[in-house]
A and B are shown apart, each in its own frame.
Chain A
Amino acid sequence: MNVLEVLAVVVLGYFVFVAVWLTKIEDYLAEAEENRAETRSPNRGEPRGE
């Protein structure tokens, strides 16, 4: 493979990473934050924000 072909593969892999991150990982992290809010809040079970 020449340099341009290697770079084409790298760029392809980069966009696969971007796609997976935006469609899967970001949602997973957001969900983990939501879970923390529901299961680990010190004020769990009490009204919050008042």
Chain B
Amino acid sequence: MASSSVTTLAWGFLLGYLVLMIGLGYKGYRQTDSQDDYATARGGFGFLMLSLAYAATVASGSTFMGMPGMAYGMGFKVGYYAILYPVGAYIGMMIVARITKKVGDRFGSQSVPDFLGDRYQSPVLRVLAALVALFLLFYVMSQITAAGWLFDTILGVNYDVGIWLAGGLLLVYLTAGGTYADILTDGVQGAIMIAITALVAFMFVTGWGIEGGPVAVNAALPSQMQWDVHTSDQNATFASGWAIFLLLVAHIGFTALPHLGNKFFAIKSTQYMKKFMLASAVIGISLPLMFLGGIVGRAMGIQVQNPDAILPVLFMQTLPPVVAAFLSVAILSAIVSTADGLIIAISQIFANDLYRKTYVPMKDEQPDQSRIDQRALWISRISTVVVTVAAILAVRTPPEYLAVLLWVGIGGIIASYGGPYLVGTLREETSKTAAITAFVAGFLTFFVLHLGPRFGLYEGWFPYNQNPFAASGIGFMISCALTYVVSKFTEPLPEEHLNKVFSTRRSEESTGSDAHGTSGD
């Protein structure tokens, strides 16, 4: 429990934060007139705001609480996770961002599953991808749990009330402002997160509270946690160099998660894409330096019952109350900025992937586009409420297999989307058959290696049975390899469709920059 001065200040910061988020939500509401606005905020943002929002969305509560906690318990080797995850995620981002934006604008794609359906002219792939992505609900649940715990620890609010406070905030601005509100709030939250990360990095470099800088910090750690120890036989995540390499591989596929991929639609134009990539790549790799806070806390001999609490406790014990209080807003920012993107992404599974792009075309009636869009907008708003409330209710008594179900979504997407999304972006020859085959094979690989053992069906193989990154990394590689190989032996998509997807000129025509369609001839 925090001291009363920290709690009082934290409430002050929190109230300011709530007012700011709701104000930004209202601004998002003013900009949201259609289903496409709600789902994508298409072309609505410049590169800097979107970069901050993207980095904030990638970095979840895990970055701000889980990684410092892991570092507190395991030492420097956790740095491999902290650094390799953004390296992989932003390499993946660079591969898919431009094509996702371009194809999304041209076909009106409103989500990553929708993008896959449009890219491969495959309603089957769209529905498969949407069904796997539904499991991201458990990711939302994990974020709301973290928020409830944060309210309980720092603000002295009961966990059951804390989860409703966090969920209520999300409901207010997301239901009104959709993706506009999501990105506006995430951009501001990203700036808050950068400020705290810079402080933590400074504490490590100066050897905060320990004479002698980083060398002294290292020397103060137990020997198995020091920086010359790279792996641990006991821990599945860091069991070997191979397991660590798979951390990197899996996170290349992490970029396929729908709450990340849908951000690309929001950039003003593909001409800003390079600036967006550069800014995201720099901001994104800085935020996980938060793990150093766990190292400093351990080196200082701070005792905590729950390792995830090390950062708040470190701040409360060694920094002025006003800084410790501000940390609560930064952690809440990390949680909320991921949860809101996830909720929007899940709402689009119902409104766009299943209703607008699957149910409507299945009906024989001539569709009235504006009526369909109005309905889809309502479905978006209603499903935003339903998903948020369902997640809050579910975490009051977390399901037995919450951690496993969480990984059905994240690992399943990494393993299955990988080939169709990343390889299909680079290789226009990729066929529909290859994409569907790779999607199913990638998911099955992840199921066999990780989900089966975690559900207790059989023992499985170490470290894959305990390490979701290693299992999804293997699934990702199989998905990519199959996408490539099967495409060699199957019919490619029609030339006319590939022209629409990959040709620059068609892109310019569709966005109006080449209205007469004659430039470049």
Mark A residues whose CB is within 8 Å of B: 2-4, 6-7, 10-11, 14-15, 17-18, 21-22, 26, 29-30, 32-34, 36-38, 40-42, 47-50
Please report the number of residue pairs spanning A and B whose Cβ atoms sit closer than 8 angstroms. 95
List 14 extra interface pairs beyond A3-B76, A48-B518, CB under 8 A. Answer: A3-B227, A4-B227, A11-B285, A14-B87, A14-B91, A18-B90, A22-B274, A22-B278, A32-B502, A36-B498, A36-B499, A40-B499, A42-B499, A50-B517
Report yes or no: A36 in contact with B503, Cβ–Cβ below 8 A. Answer: yes
Report yes or no: B80 in contact with A17, Cβ–Cβ below 8 A. Answer: no
Report yes or no: B230 in contact with A49, Cβ–Cβ below 8 A. Answer: no
B509 close to chain A: CB less than 8 A: yes
In Å, the complex CA distance between A20 and B517 comes to: 32
Report yes or no: B516 in contact with A40, Cβ–Cβ below 8 A. Answer: no
Report chain B residues within 8 Å CB of A11.
83, 87, 285
Report chain A residues within 8 Å CB of B230.
3, 6
Interface of A is mostly: helix
In Å, the complex CA distance between A14 and B130 comes to: 32
Report chain B residues within 8 Å CB of A37.
499, 503-506, 520
B294 close to chain A: CB less than 8 A: no
- Interchain CB contact (< 8 A) of B227 among A2, A26, A30, A47: A2
Report yes or no: A42 in contact with B495, Cβ–Cβ below 8 A. Answer: yes
Report chain B residues within 8 Å CB of A10.
83-84, 87
B98 close to chain A: CB less than 8 A: yes
Nearest A residue to B504 via CB reads A33
B496 close to chain A: CB less than 8 A: yes
Report yes or no: A48 in contact with B517, Cβ–Cβ below 8 A. Answer: yes
Q: Which of A3, A38, A47 has the most CB of B within 10 A?
A: A3
Report yes or no: B79 in contact with A3, Cβ–Cβ below 8 A. Answer: yes
B250 close to chain A: CB less than 8 A: no
Please list the 4 inter-chain residue pairs (A to B) with the smallest Cβ-Cβ separation, ordered nearest first: A49-B517, A37-B505, A48-B517, A2-B227
In Å, the complex CA distance between A3 and B230 comes to: 6
Nearest A residue to B508 via CB reads A37
Nearest A residue to B78 via CB reads A3
Report yes or no: B94 in contact with A18, Cβ–Cβ below 8 A. Answer: yes
B457 close to chain A: CB less than 8 A: no
Nearest B residue to A37 via CB reads B505
Report yes or no: B278 in contact with A18, Cβ–Cβ below 8 A. Answer: yes
B362 close to chain A: CB less than 8 A: no
Sample (21) of A-B pairs whose CB atoms are under 8 Å apart: A2-B227, A2-B228, A3-B230, A4-B214, A4-B227, A6-B230, A7-B79, A10-B83, A14-B281, A15-B281, A18-B94, A21-B94, A26-B98, A33-B504, A36-B502, A37-B506, A40-B495, A41-B503, A41-B505, A47-B518, A49-B514
In Å, the complex CA distance between A2 and B91 comes to: 24
Report yes or no: B496 in contact with A33, Cβ–Cβ below 8 A. Answer: no
In Å, the complex CA distance between A15 and B503 comes to: 29
- Interchain CB contact (< 8 A) of A34 among B281, B518, B520: B520
In Å, the complex CA distance between A26 and B91 comes to: 13
| Residues of B1-30 contacting chain A, CB below 8 A | none
Report yes or no: B278 in contact with A30, Cβ–Cβ below 8 A. Answer: no
Report chain B residues within 8 Å CB of A49.
509, 514-518
A14-B87, A22-B274, A48-B509 known; A29-B98 Cβ under 8 A: yes
Report yes or no: A7 in contact with B83, Cβ–Cβ below 8 A. Answer: yes
Report yes or no: A2 in contact with B76, Cβ–Cβ below 8 A. Answer: yes
B50 close to chain A: CB less than 8 A: no
Nearest chain B CB to A21's CB is how many angstroms away?
Answer: 5
Report yes or no: B76 in contact with A4, Cβ–Cβ below 8 A. Answer: yes
B329 close to chain A: CB less than 8 A: no
Nearest chain B CB to A36's CB is how many angstroms away?
Answer: 5
Report yes or no: A40 in contact with B80, Cβ–Cβ below 8 A. Answer: no
Report chain A residues within 8 Å CB of B285.
11, 14
In Å, the complex CA distance between A32 and B274 comes to: 17
B454 close to chain A: CB less than 8 A: no
B277 close to chain A: CB less than 8 A: yes
Nearest chain A CB to B54's CB is how many angstroms away?
Answer: 14
- Interchain CB contact (< 8 A) of B281 among A7, A18, A33, A50: A18
Report yes or no: A30 in contact with B504, Cβ–Cβ below 8 A. Answer: yes
B42 close to chain A: CB less than 8 A: no
